[in-house]
Amino acid sequence: MTTSSRATITPQEQGMPQQKARVGPGVGLSARRPSTTGDRRGIVDVEAALQEQLQDDRYIKMRADMGAQYVENLPIPNYGDLWIPGYRVITEALAKEYGLQAAYEDDPFSDLPLDEPQPPTGAVDGNVIASFVDGVTGQQKIDVLNCMLLAQLAANFKFNREENPVPWTRFYTSVLENVGWVVPQFQFRSLRSNQARFTMDAAILRFLTDLLTQNEKDTVQSAIEAVKGLQDGDRRLRIFERNSVEEKVGNFQVDSVGVSATGVLSMKLGAFGFQTSERVTKVLWFSFGGSSTSMQVTKTTLVLNEQVHARLRDAILNKLGNRGLEFIGGLPLAD
């Protein structure tokens, strides 16, 4: 990858003239016409929609009741080796007693103060690399990670995540919507690099530049670097690799979570699906061929109705059981 070149992003909307934007040094990406498959229509201003919801107590109760029934009936894969007989939720002490590796790694989520704002941290959650900026509480981090995991497992049950990344992501966001998130309209688009070789980490940061603040971008980059610094056998690296890529195809997310000045919890989501001609290892730093790799990508911002979600927290925990031990791991970020 040549880091000194100028990158051009070229969106081609149907019925609109072609426009070009210079976006600075990095991976050159050419954006084609947005895909109509899996496009989401409706809400544009998620914070306005959230404020409208919060003014109606009957709506909150109705959404919570419907959400609880939805979670109870939501099919997810039955991973038979994830259960310790007689236990629904596995504590750190119990994990150590059973010799589970999750209890011994350097994991900042092992003992979070629930009600206190936390410093920036990262996490691996299945095929998601999540970053949390300063000020997100321990309870909010746990809620976000459990929502992500529930949505992933349900989407895995319904679709092949690598071969069908667009419908997979569409269903993933529909699960989030049913557990309290306000999900806006979004579109997928096709991307190709105009460079001979590129790495996915650089492409991710380039694609998300106009979605993230500088602080959010720095935290996302720190989370990616934290994954890069993991040893080959590390549980968290294995989680991300096995859930994000299958030989020549892949599907993963990079998300930034924060709290606004008005106290609204938001998640800026970047979803990436790709196909390439080479067998991929260490997906974020693999040297992809620009002409032989195609990507389907989208980015959007979701906000959480915490009044609805608080009433669904126990239902989600009951559904997940101790699956978090196999899918979630914290990432301490460099100072």
Among candidate residues 190, 166, 165, the one with its CA nearest the CA of residue 31: 190
| Domain membership flag for residue 266 | yes
Per-residue 3-state assignment (H helix, E strand, C coil) for the chain = CCCCCEEEECCCCCCCCCCCEEEEECCCEEEEEEEEEEEECCCCCHHHHHHHHHCCHHHHHHHHHHHHHHHHHCCCCCCHHHCCCCCCCCCHHHHHHCCCHHHCCCCCCCCCCCCCECCCEEEEECCEEEEECCCCEHHHHHHHHHHHHHHHHHHHHHCCCCCCHHHHHHHHHHHHHHCCEECCCEEEEEEEECCCEEEHHHHHHHHHCCCCCHHHHHHHHHHHHHHHCCCCCCHHHHHHHHHHEECCEEEEEEEEEEECCCCCEEEEEEEEEEECCCCCCCCCCCEEECCCCEEEEEEEEEEECHHHHHCCHHHHHHHHCCCHHHHEEEECCCC
Q: pLDDT tens string for the chain (335 positions)?
A: 333 332 322 333 333 333 333 333 345 655 544 443 344 457 889 999 999 999 999 999 999 999 999 999 999 987 654 444 444 444 555 555 555 555 445 555 656 788 889 999 999 999 999 999 999 999 999 999 999 999 999 999 999 998 899 999 999 999 999 999 999 999 999 998 889 999 999 999 999 999 999 999 999 999 999 999 999 888 899 999 999 999 999 999 999 999 988 899 999 999 999 999 999 999 999 999 999 999 999 999 999 999 999 999 999 998 988 787 788 888 988 76
Among candidate residues 107, 104, 133, the one with its CA nearest the CA of residue 119: 133
Number of Cα atoms under 13 Å in the Cβ half of residue 182: 24
Q: Which residues are within 8 A (CB) of 106 and not within 5 positions of it... i.e. 6 or more apart?
A: 332
Judge contact between 272 and 256, C-beta under 8 A. Answer: no
Output the CA torsion sign for 108, 113, 114, 119: negative
| Domain membership flag for residue 28 | no
| Domain membership flag for residue 25 | no
Judge contact between 149 and 125, C-beta under 8 A. Answer: yes
Calpha distance 172→82 (Å, rounded): 22
| Domain membership flag for residue 316 | yes
| Domain membership flag for residue 167 | yes
| Neighbour count for residue 253 (Cβ, 10 Å) | 24
Calpha distance 147→142 (Å, rounded): 9
| Domain membership flag for residue 177 | yes
Calpha distance 265→46 (Å, rounded): 11
Alpha carbon distance, N-terminus to C-terminus of the chain: 27
| Domain membership flag for residue 43 | yes
Q: Could you tell me the residue range of the domain that residue 142 belongs to? A: 39-331
Judge contact between 286 and 162, C-beta under 8 A. Answer: no
| Domain membership flag for residue 12 | no
The count of structural domains within the chain is 1
